[in-house]
Amino acid sequence: MKKNEMHFYQLLRDFLTDYLITKRNFSDKTARAYRQSLNLLRNYLREEKNISFDRMEFSCFSRSVIYDFLMWLKNTQKNSAQTLNLRLSAIKSFLKYCSEEDMELMPVYLDVASIHAFKGVKQPGVEYLTQIQLKLLFSLPDITTRLGRRDRFFIIFAYETGARIQELLDLQLNSIIRSDTSVRVRIHGKGNKTRYVPLLGSTVKHLDAYLASFHKGSPLGASLFYTIHESQKTQMKAGTVDYFLKKYGKLAHKADTAFPEGLHAHMLRHSIAMAMHKKGIPISYIRDFLGHSSIETTSVYSYSDEETITKALESVDLEGTIGKTIAKQKNWKGKEQYLLEYCGFS
């Protein structure tokens, strides 16, 4: 096989075995879900279009072919809209990667990118950060500087408390309530309601380090977060928070293009709520934690996002019910078998 004929397979292999894991930091399970999607397309082309894997090329990724594949999944395999959109997302991600590696493939990606998501999926009501994205964000402030230490603590504290930005800025030193066994934050929220949020051990350590550095000798009525103007400590403004969050958001997006652009404080509140929901915490508990007056407001966190859908796909093992069944029908030998192993499909 000539080198130029291997271009497609090289890109496919690099996408599945390197890019998803090392560049996007996807887990093995998530990468497997992407592999399942592309493997289903491979099986579809073989069974429905009579195109074996050793004859696949980028012409197989035209808009019409991909749309026909999705219709096959919908009508023949009875896949839901959620599953169709996951398969489409995986294919788009692969083609986007290919277009970044080879600009001549940009038209192929744009052609398929024009396929709209299938209706029937409840779209996310909130934008939030994954645990990996949060770790990246926490690592960005330069803690060798005073402002860097302040910024990192604010980000950690905003996430751990789930507080609204004004609730955070209104906190005073006397809002921190300590006992022999616990540390809590008294948060004065909307509707003149007060709630108490417990702090975990790791967060308490960050809090103590922040207080030691920024509040030596401060009165109990001093603002927890402040800026200094004309040698006077004044309550930090929302604009200051917005400025440094956007700065770190841009750095995070540069390091990981999947990181949401336009980071804002409310995204940290969404992130802790989604993390709690994914751990199985009842919505009623999350409502009280966030200070919502209505359970309907909190229910926005209970939609099925891509990660949830991926786990659902893994649990039913679509590759096992479709891909392996087809694989048993024919025992491919020779060049195709080599390419399957090369790309990580067998």
234 and 202, same structural domain? yes
In DSSP terms, 197 is beta-bridged to 185
236 and 298, same structural domain? yes
Number of domains in the chain: 2
Query: What residue numbers bound the domain in which 178 lies?
Result: 131-302
Cβ–Cβ contacts within 10 Å for residue 317, how many?
13
158 and 169, same structural domain? yes
Which has more confidence, 27 or 241?
A: 241
247 and 157, same structural domain? yes
147 and 274, same structural domain? yes
**pLDDT for the residue 319:** 37
160 and 18, same structural domain? no
Mean pLDDT of 57-86: 90
**pLDDT for the residue 148:** 96
How far from chain centre, in Å, is Cα 93? 14
**pLDDT for the residue 283:** 76
Q: Among 13-27, 46-60, 249-263, whose mean pLDDT is lowest?
A: 13-27
Cα dihedral: 117, 123, 127, 133 (round 10): -60
211 and 63, same structural domain? no
Share the mean pLDDT of the chain.
Answer: 83
**pLDDT for the residue 346:** 62
150 and 187, same structural domain? yes
Q: What pTM, to 2 d.p., does this model score? A: 0.55
Cβ–Cβ contacts within 10 Å for residue 186, how many?
14
How far from chain centre, in Å, is Cα 310? 12
Question: Measuring CA to CA, which residue among 346, 344, 333, 331 is closest to residue 54?
Answer: 333
Q: Is the pLDDT of residue 149 over 50?
A: yes
280 and 331, same structural domain? no
Mean pLDDT of 224-247: 94
**pLDDT for the residue 285:** 79
Question: Measuring CA to CA, which residue among 245, 241, 239 is closest to residue 261?
Answer: 245
**pLDDT for the residue 64:** 92
User: How confident is the model over 31-65, as pLDDT tens digits?
Assistant: 888 888 999 999 999 999 999 888 899 999 999 99
